Chains A and B, each alone.
Chain A
Amino acid sequence: MISNSFSTSASISILNEMKKNLFNYILGIADNSLILGQRLGELCGHGPSLETDIALTNISLDLFGQVRSYYQYAAKIANNGSNEDTIAMMRPEREYVNVLLVEQPNTDFGYVIARQFLFDVYHFLFLTELQKSKDVTLAAIAKKSIKEVSYHLRFSSDWVKRLGDGTEESHKRIQNAINDLWTYTDELFHQTDADKKMIADGVGVDTLKLKETYYHNVSEILNEATLEVPELKYFQKGGKQGIHTEHMGYILAELQYMQRTYPNMSW
């Protein structure tokens, strides 16, 4: 009897550990889209032209739609009364595990496009692999999302080329933005403990294998845009551990304001 109950509680704790890893893994994917979507949402009514305004907010909407699917799934796994809204809007800053790149501000249109481009190239490669996940829900979300993300990638690549190969001013600005944001690209390939366990289980994507293709694809577009590929030895990191740049608090203040002020409100 004793050995029986011991083995049951041991398998429960293994199950719980697996659930915890899967939950954290999902947040690692979804938080990137949430925070980038929020950044793009700030541009609603403020884009440099009507068309880019609409495009960037449409991309934001796609990302939020994907985030809903991920968080709904995460809430189901957590099974603790949380839901998509509480996961999106009620966590403290240290519990958000998005990469630092996506929280960088909309300094100018060059930064908006550079940030989008550096993320889209990664996002597309990542979702391509996630479609093969052993987890059927994650694979389904990936299959749905990649169709949308291929349009995002086309849009941002197109604008990198237009700005790079445009006027002297636009060239200068997009080059500045690429140079500044480059320091956040390496973090895309960092793996947390949850990542490593999910990769071992065939659920997660081994991002290290994407790294070479990522820098190759990015460089190819930058070359075409007559831009220089930055050379850097030191990269910023921390977002995946919940340690964010100074911008994150302001994003969350705006994102969480309604839910914090009127708890449980809904439309």
Chain B
Amino acid sequence: MNKQMIEHADIDTELIPILDKVSDPEIPVLTILDMGVVRYAKLVDDVVQIKITPTYSGCPAMDVIADDITAAFKKEGYKVDIDLVLTPAWTTDWISEEGRDALEKYGIAPPLEAEADKEALLGNKKIVKCTNCGSQNTKLVSQFGSTACKALFQCEDCHEPFDYFKCLK
């Protein structure tokens, strides 16, 4: 994966390969870089300073992510100092293109734009694409899905139930 540049965050290029090995514990196909939860990573006086931000306030994955980052850097011989930051608040816009593709392949429809998202979650428009067959003939089953960040949909063509990653802006 080519991640020389991560536009929205301040991350040292040489630290990217290590961070890229840490995956989201709830969605293992995504790395934490794909998710956009790493806001800052720099080597300062032999210690890697890292700032991460939660996707949702109550996201239970944050503690695990912090532990996984520490373990990954320890393996490479680095000391790490991790800080949790709340601002600027995480947005689904920070999910990378690779991340969106990975989500879809994994069976989670990636987030739509804010307005479209609202229409989809109110059940007004059929615009969420089935991750199994690609049909847009899908219906909202529940605004809340298996985790706080997802809604539950079902395809009315192939009848497959699937998650939709809600837009957060």
Contact = CB atoms under 8 A, between A and B. Distances in A.
B2 interface: no
A65 B57 contact: yes
Given A51-B152, A143-B87, A147-B168, A66 B58 contact: yes
18 contacts: A51-B152, A54-B142, A55-B143, A55-B144, A59-B144, A61-B56, A62-B56, A63-B58, A64-B58, A65-B57, A66-B58, A140-B87, A140-B89, A143-B89, A145-B57, A148-B56, A154-B122, A155-B143
B148 A141 contact: no
Interface string B75-88: 00000000000111
Contact of B143 (A50, A64, A68, A154): A154
A62 B57 contact: yes
Contacts of A154: 121-122, 143
Contact of A141 (B86, B141, B152): B86
Interface of B: 54, 56-60, 86-90, 121-122, 141-148, 152, 166, 168-169
A69 interface: yes
Given A62-B58, A65-B54, A148-B148, 19 more contacts: A51-B144, A52-B142, A54-B142, A54-B152, A65-B56, A65-B59, A66-B58, A69-B57, A137-B86, A140-B87, A141-B86, A143-B86, A143-B88, A144-B57, A145-B57, A147-B89, A151-B144, A154-B143, A155-B143
A58 interface: yes
Given A144-B57, A148-B57, A58 B148 contact: yes
A54 B88 CA distance: 28
Interface in A82-137: 136-137
Interface string A242-261: 00000000000000000000
Between A50, A52, A54, A63, the greatest number of chain B beta carbons within 10 A of the residue's beta carbon is seen for A54
Contacts of B60: 61
A135 to B, nearest CB: 12
Interface string A134-175: 001101110111011001001100100000000000000000
Interface residues of A, number: 29
B89 A54 contact: no
Contacts of B56: 61-62, 65, 148
Contact of B87 (A50, A52, A63, A144): A144
Considering the complex of A and B, which 6 residue pairs feature the smallest CB-CB distances, nearest first? Answer: A65-B58, A65-B57, A51-B142, A55-B144, A140-B87, A61-B58
A148 B89 CA distance: 11
Contacts of B141: 51
Nearest to B146: A54
A62 B54 CA distance: 11
A140 B88 CA distance: 7
B57 A66 contact: yes
A151 B57 contact: no
Contacts of A54: 142, 144-146, 152
Contacts of A69: 57, 86
A151 B143 contact: yes
Contacts of A141: 86
Nearest to A56: B144
Contacts of B169: 147
B39 to A, nearest CB: 13
A86 to B, nearest CB: 19
Contacts of A59: 144
Contacts of B87: 136, 139-140, 143-144
A145 B51 CA distance: 19
A5 to B, nearest CB: 38
Contacts of B147: 58
Given A69-B86, A140-B86, A147-B89, A55 B58 contact: no
Contact of A155 (B54, B144, B168): B144
Contacts of B57: 62, 65-66, 68-69, 144-145, 148
